[in-house]
Amino acid sequence: MTTIDTGAIGAAVPRAEFRTCRFSGLRIEANAEKLIKFNAVTAVLFLALGGLMGLLVALTRWPAVQILPADWFYLVLTGHGANVLLFWIIFFEIAVLYFAGAVVLGSRLAAPKWAWTGFVLMVVGAVMANYAVLRGDSTVMFTSYPPLQASQWFYLSLVLFAVGALIAVFVFFGTLVVAKAEKTYDGSVPLVTFGAITAAIIAVFTLASGAIILVPTWLWSLGLVTNIDSLMYKVVWWGMGHSSQQINVSAHVAIWYAIAAMVVGAKPLSEKVSRMAYFMYILFLQLASAHHILAEPGMSSAWKIVNTSYMMYLAVMGSMIHGLTVPGAIEAAQRRNGFTRGAFEWLTKAPWGNPAFSGMFLSLVMFGFIGGISGVVLGTEQLNVLMHNTIYVPGHFHGTVVAGTTLAFMAATFLLVPLLFQRDIIWPRLAKWQPYVFGLGAAGISLFMMGAGTLGVPRRQWDISLADAVLRFEFPPAAYLMMGLNGISGVLAATGGVMFIVIIVATILAGPRLDRPGAKLAFPLHDKARERVSTYGSEGTLKLPGTIILVTLFFAAFVLYYFVNWKYLSELWLFR
């Protein structure tokens, strides 16, 4: 495919306009800039829509509030999943790919016309999906498990969106070829671009899985295929559904590295280790759909064990490595910036008032402690039976996708908007608080849903009082308390989300202009002049006591939580 892209632009090489960013020194090409802006702004619009739907879901599941009637609840929940998990995240990821390809490498964007085609297809798909859901005949949840059937427009919209995204991914690959051919950079690609390449390779696998399952399902909704096997659908669908989360992980880890580099001047401890960790994602995530099928009949235990563990947890190992190297790189950089006292001065004196940094670091910590640990426990063959399809599951993935990915993307936006729109953050004092408000809300949502899940509360369910069911069952009062606290956290997260959207939209429309001489950034980038003169590489002279304490804490929490769940399991009824 890349040959097609390079062939297409080969004829029109010289027509690229560049400007150099005064603050970052990056060379930004006009087409790339425009496409990044459009993709990122569209992403934020879908975040607003999907976030509003999320708030309604949280308020409905708050038993004392239960704001929506049942039919609307299920409809809105379907829309919430599609808008935030697919549209917000993938539009933003396309912006990240173009940034990591064209801007970071200082190259022009390959085939901008194809990039626009992809963008238009994605917009058409996303709008059509919302149309299909709001019609009311596609209330099938994000997973759309057959034999439950949505309208044809639902499946078609997702296929169109996937094709558009695939085109964008190939434009990114084309851009890499262009940058290499036009020698816009020297040596190997930067680590951030390497992370973006990882995300893009995974995206191809993911979108292909999506097409393989959604095209026949679409034909089924049209009556052209008589039967979709429910188990087969689940196996292939999760090839898209889970692998796409690995795109998110690759993308937000790349953002962690990028923000750490731009705000505190962090340099990877070892390029080799960080790149190897990314490479593990590519090698092992294809197996990932299995951990959604652990409570299913029909698959052997051997299949479940090998696949759910990503072949011996090697992709988990990739994330654990990033979990060390990112804070490690920050600690090393901060020590070089002069914060050398004790184990944690580098952390306490970090730029916590800069929403890009605080958002990034909160994302790093919460992704590891909340999303990461719960994910491994949930994805263990036997332990899965304790929480499968309870609200523990959304608790887990709000820890990864909201507290992890979304918070990282928001943090990146606070950097990207001034650089690309050349307008400064309009209300820096409000912006300073945004990551904390949103992060606290996201952490609350995750933890309280996980808590309710361990008490058996089902996911995607309108009324846990089961008031209208023939055979009643009472959930314990603690479950109601958890769902109430989840509702309050949802309101908090929504407040953080509104702050984000208002700040970003107002900044784009009316932020102080930065293209005038003498204009300064409210949240400055790393100043090289602050660095002490010393060489530092990856060799043993470097001391990182703070990072050692952090990862030790993480590992202790991981091991403890893992065994606590085995203990819970051992107390269940016996089954084999």
Partner 1 sequence: MAITPPSNRLWWKEPIHGLEIGWIVISFLWGLFMFFFMIAWHFIGQQNLSTETYRVTTAAYEQKVIDFADEYQAMDENGDYLEEDFVPVVRPPAGADVYILARTYEFWPIVELERGQSYRVHLSSVDLQHGFSLQPTNINISVHPGYEHVMHITPTESGVFGIVCNEFCGIGHHLMTGRIRVVEPGTGDAATGPADEPADDSIQAEG
Find the binding residues for partner 1 in span 309-348 (CB under 8 A). 309, 312-314, 316-317, 320-321, 324-325, 328-329
Q: How far is the CB of 336 from partner 1 (least distance, A)?
A: 12
- E-assigned strand segments in 49-162: none
Q: How far is the CB of 96 from partner 1 (least distance, A)?
A: 12
Distances (CA, A) of 192 to 177, 198, 253, 262, 275: 17, 10, 8, 11, 10
- Spatial separation of the C-alpha atoms in residues 153 and 138, rounded to whole Å: 9
Please, which residue, 42 or 380, has the CB nearer to partner 1?
A: 380
Could you count the other beta carbons within 10 Å of the beta carbon of residue 84?
24
HSE of 102, CA atoms in CB hemisphere, 13 A: 34
- Spatial separation of the C-alpha atoms in residues 346 and 329, rounded to whole Å: 11
Is there binding between residue 527 and partner 1 (CB under 8 A)? no
Among 127, 466, 501, 502, binds partner 1 (CB under 8 A): 466
| Segment interacting with partner 1, rule: CB under 8 A, options 85-93, 349-357, 431-439, 539-547 | 539-547
Is there binding between residue 468 and partner 1 (CB under 8 A)? yes
Please, which residue, 139 or 354, has the CB nearer to partner 1?
A: 139
Angle (nearest 5°) at CA 443 between 439 and 448: 150
Q: How far is the CB of 53 from partner 1 (least distance, A)?
A: 16
Number of residues lying near partner 1 (CB under 8 A) = 109
Q: How far is the CB of 237 from partner 1 (least distance, A)?
A: 12
Please, which residue, 74 or 339, has the CB nearer to partner 1?
A: 74
- Residue whose entry in the numeric block shows the structure tokens 């950097």: 415
Q: How far is the CB of 202 from partner 1 (least distance, A)?
A: 19
Is there binding between residue 231 and partner 1 (CB under 8 A)? yes
Contact of 546 with 455, CB cutoff 8 Å: no
Helix pair 30-61, 407-421: axis angle to 10 deg: 150
Q: Site map for partner 1, 471-490, x if CB under 8 A?
A: xxx-xx--------------
Q: How far is the CB of 8 from partner 1 (least distance, A)?
A: 27
Q: How far is the CB of 379 from partner 1 (least distance, A)?
A: 10
Angle (nearest 5°) at CA 290 between 288 and 296: 160
Please, which residue, 190 or 404, has the CB nearer to partner 1?
A: 190
| Segment interacting with partner 1, rule: CB under 8 A, options 216-224, 334-342, 465-473, 495-503 | 465-473
Among 3, 230, 340, 348, binds partner 1 (CB under 8 A): 230
Contact of 67 with 60, CB cutoff 8 Å: yes
Rg (CA), the chain: 23
* Residue 458, beta-bridge partner list: 390
Among 4, 229, 342, 348, binds partner 1 (CB under 8 A): 229
Please, which residue, 56 or 121, has the CB nearer to partner 1?
A: 56
Among 21, 127, 542, 561, binds partner 1 (CB under 8 A): 542
- Spatial separation of the C-alpha atoms in residues 547 and 291, rounded to whole Å: 31
Contact of 266 with 186, CB cutoff 8 Å: no
Among 8, 127, 141, 204, binds partner 1 (CB under 8 A): 141
Contact of 1 with 170, CB cutoff 8 Å: yes
Angle (nearest 5°) at CA 560 between 238 and 296: 25
Is there binding between residue 97 and partner 1 (CB under 8 A)? no
* Residue 27, beta-bridge partner list: 20
Q: Site map for partner 1, 102-131, x if CB under 8 A?
A: --x---------------------------
Is there binding between residue 520 and partner 1 (CB under 8 A)? no
User: Using the 8-state DSSP alphabet, how is residue 146 labeled?
Assistant: T
Question: Which residues have a Cβ under 8 Å from the Cβ of 225 and sit 6 or more positions away?
Answer: 216, 219
Could you count the other beta carbons within 10 Å of the beta carbon of residue 115?
28
- Spatial separation of the C-alpha atoms in residues 26 and 105, rounded to whole Å: 8
CA dihedral over 69, 70, 75, 81, signed as positive or negative: positive
Please, which residue, 42 or 246, has the CB nearer to partner 1?
A: 246
Find the binding residues for partner 1 in span 6-65 (CB under 8 A). none
Q: Site map for partner 1, 158-197, x if CB under 8 A?
A: ---------------------------xxxxxxxx-----
- Spatial separation of the C-alpha atoms in residues 192 and 260, rounded to whole Å: 11
Length of the chain: 576
Is there binding between residue 570 and partner 1 (CB under 8 A)? yes
| Segment interacting with partner 1, rule: CB under 8 A, options 31-39, 214-222, 383-391, 513-521 | 383-391
* Residue 422, beta-bridge partner list: none
Find the binding residues for partner 1 in span 400-439 (CB under 8 A). none
Q: How far is the CB of 208 from partner 1 (least distance, A)?
A: 24
| Segment interacting with partner 1, rule: CB under 8 A, options 48-56, 122-130, 470-478, 507-515 | 470-478
| Segment interacting with partner 1, rule: CB under 8 A, options 107-115, 263-271, 421-429, 440-448 | 263-271
Is there binding between residue 299 and partner 1 (CB under 8 A)? yes
Among 268, 375, 395, 444, binds partner 1 (CB under 8 A): 268
Distances (CA, A) of 300 to 145, 232, 576: 21, 14, 13
| Segment interacting with partner 1, rule: CB under 8 A, options 113-121, 243-251, 290-298, 426-434 | 290-298
Is there binding between residue 224 and partner 1 (CB under 8 A)? no
Contact of 36 with 81, CB cutoff 8 Å: no
Q: How far is the CB of 388 from partner 1 (least distance, A)?
A: 4
Contact of 138 with 150, CB cutoff 8 Å: yes
Is there binding between residue 138 and partner 1 (CB under 8 A)? no
